[in-house]
Amino acid sequence: MVRERQPAGRPCAGRRGVATSGRQNMSAVEKVERQASSGEAEAGPKASGGADGNAALSLAGLGFFMVDVQTKKLVWMESPSLDFEHIAGLNEANLSSALRNLAQNDQKQILSLIQHAVKYGTAGPVELGGDDLGNGLSLIATRYQAEGGRTFVIAVSGTDAEDEATGTAVRGVAPLIRHLVEGSEKAVLVVDSFGYLRYANQALYDLFHIADPSLCIGRNIAHIPNRVGKTLTSVVLTTLARRAPVDGNKRFFLASGDSMTLTYDLIPFRVSSGLGGVVFSAEKVNDCAVDFQQIFNLVHAPLLVVDLKTRMLISANTAARKTFAITEQMMESAPITETMLHPRTFVSLIEHARKNSSTPLQATVSGFDGVSRSKRLRASVVESGQGQGQYLVIESKH
């Protein structure tokens, strides 16, 4: 039977060895904390629910959790609303395994909360998973001593009021989405309000060339752009932060560095306060039409495309990437006038393009491999098809 906790810092009257028991309890929590910090948390097989220790804690919809400090077991209630893995209801897992999918900072916050509750009797509130995505999850914790000297920490969510998040309030999101998209040719992804991937259909895995879904589902999308692609990560996080629907056509860069144009939409939804997210769906544009990106890469001469307003290099064909050692990360590092071309050279190329000159311009181009090359350059100004700006297309002659 659980006994009422004693005031913080006051040992239980008449109980011998409380100080020793407290040190043992702290030692158990500190051991798990060291495992989380060093990345030794158990990976475990894919979550399957129940008390088999394979489930992983989700912040979205979390109302409470309880920790048995001696056995290092964590028990929590998983909401059925976003349950795609059939783990709704009461779950139990080793503490390190239960926290394995959370961001490292959130893991440390939870372990610190438990540690302080064991030491002082109460702890918190701590804020989890907020950042730029809006309201996070607030937790407070209390220590309880049970008969036989066992120690439990119970943490509950301190968020009672409804937030002002926009979106469609729905119930039973998981079964509804499964029913609608299980066999759909359109790629679908569900991300909860804290940024964690909860569901994706086979069409999304195929479209984004994701070979191992277990490395993505349950993970925070902000931490895996190298697995799902930087564009998908960006549009999902932006929609979560703004909490407004988005749709349109956009070029998505894959983890491999390849890209494709997709028609996509993102729809925010809210089940209740602290439980919601976005549904992303997409399909390729003009699947039967000519792939102009492929033609761009087939051109043997190096080609660079630069945004005239920002001077950022936004695209380079295969020949240019090979000649000048260009990568996606380097393209985004700084304007081209700070990396590959002298500002005066860039201005000369713009004038050259506006005059429609057919005579190449001799200039020095600095590659990202540290080698400067003298090249004959031709340039053309291209208007954006959607009236969003102008681009300078630079062709390098041998």
Which one has a higher pLDDT value, 119 or 333? Answer: 119
Q: Which of the residue ranges 84-93, 94-103, 189-198 would you say has the lowest mean pLDDT? A: 84-93
Tell me the C-alpha distance between 213 and 49, whole Å.
18
Given 234, 256, 284, the domain boundary residue is: 284
Residue ending a domain, choose from 266, 284, 302: 284
The domain of 368 spans 292-397
What's the pLDDT at 134? 47
pLDDT greater than 90 at residue 5: no
Q: State the Cα–Cα distance between residues 191 and 199, nearest whole angstrom.
A: 7
Classify residue 393 as exposed, middle or buried by CB count within 10 Å of its CB (0-12, 13-18, 19+).
middle
pLDDT above 70 as % of the chain = 70
Residues 32 and 76 in one domain: yes
Residues 300 and 277 in one domain: no
Q: Taking all residues of the chain, what is their mean pLDDT, rounded to a whole number?
A: 76
Token pair belonging to 8: 């913080």
Domain boundary among 225, 251, 284: 284
| Residue pLDDT, tens place only, 70-80 | 888 888 877 66
Query: Per residue in 205-254, pLDDT tens?
Result: 999 999 888 888 888 898 898 899 999 999 999 888 887 888 888 889 88
C-beta separation of 144 from 2 below 8 A: yes
Cβ of 117: how many Cβ atoms within 10 Å?
27
pLDDT of 139: 83
The reported pTM is: 0.48
In this structure, the answer to whether residues 32 and 128 fall within a common structural domain is yes
Same domain, 173 and 83: no
Q: Determine the Cα–Cα distance for residues 24 and 69; give it in Å rounded to an integer.
A: 9
For the four alpha carbons of 177, 179, 180 and 182, in that order, the dihedral sign comes to positive
Cα 392 to the chain's mean position, in Å? 33
- Same domain, yes or no, for 88 and 152? yes
Q: Do residues 103 and 220 make contact, with C-beta atoms less than 8 angstroms apart? A: yes
Residues 254, 230, 78, 270: what is their CA dihedral angle, to the nearest 10 degrees?
A: -110
pLDDT of residue 233: 92
Q: What does the pLDDT look like over 269-290, one tens digit per residue?
A: 776 655 678 889 998 876 555 6
Let me know if residue 88 belongs to a domain: yes
Question: What is the Cα–Cα distance from 43 to 46, expressed in whole angstroms?
Answer: 9
Average the pLDDT over each of 44-58, 152-166, 183-197 and give the range with the smallest value.
44-58
